């Protein structure tokens, strides 16, 4: 069994209100399970994230229903059902860093170097 790791290091997702419309547009991160079986996904946040895992609001794209996240602090898990896509918009546009792993929690605590200007 192999573990797939998707890093979202220093992803900044910003909510911006449109002038006069009252609507908001934002960037979201989506996780999809294209298999016929449920899979456990782990969300491990970086210490500089602007929220905790219990604040993460995951939404099923098809139904609009919340997907529960179990855990506390910087690590938690959720179940992606068969053929399900879940959307997350960070912490209402605030900074989110960390990793998402499938079938196993993150085992490496390595720090990622900051990007340097050329």
What residue ranges do the domains of the chain occupy?
A: 5-15+26-102
What does pTM read for this prediction? Answer: 0.67
| Angle CA 86–90–71, to nearest 5 | 75
Query: Over pLDDT 90: what percentage of the chain?
Result: 35
Q: Does the CA dihedral 65-71-76-81 come out positive or negative?
A: negative
**Is residue 80's pLDDT more than 90?**
yes
Confidence check: pLDDT of 20 > 80 = no
Do residues 28 and 12 make contact, with C-beta atoms less than 8 angstroms apart? no
């Amino acid at each position: 069994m192999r573990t797939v790791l998707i890093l979202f290091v220093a992803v900044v997702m910003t909510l911006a209100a449109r002038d006069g419309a009252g609507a908001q547009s934002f960037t979201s991160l989506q996780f999809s399970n294209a298999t016929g079986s449920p899979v456990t996904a782990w969300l491990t946040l970086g210490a500089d994230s602007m929220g905790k895992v219990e604040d993460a609001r995951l939404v099923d794209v098809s139904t609009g229903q919340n997907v529960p996240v179990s855990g506390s602090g910087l690590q938690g898990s959720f179940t992606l059902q068969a053929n399900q896509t879940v959307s997350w918009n960070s912490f209402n546009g605030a900074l989110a860093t960390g990793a998402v792993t499938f079938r196993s929690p993150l085992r490496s605590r390595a720090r990622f170097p900051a990007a340097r200007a050329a």
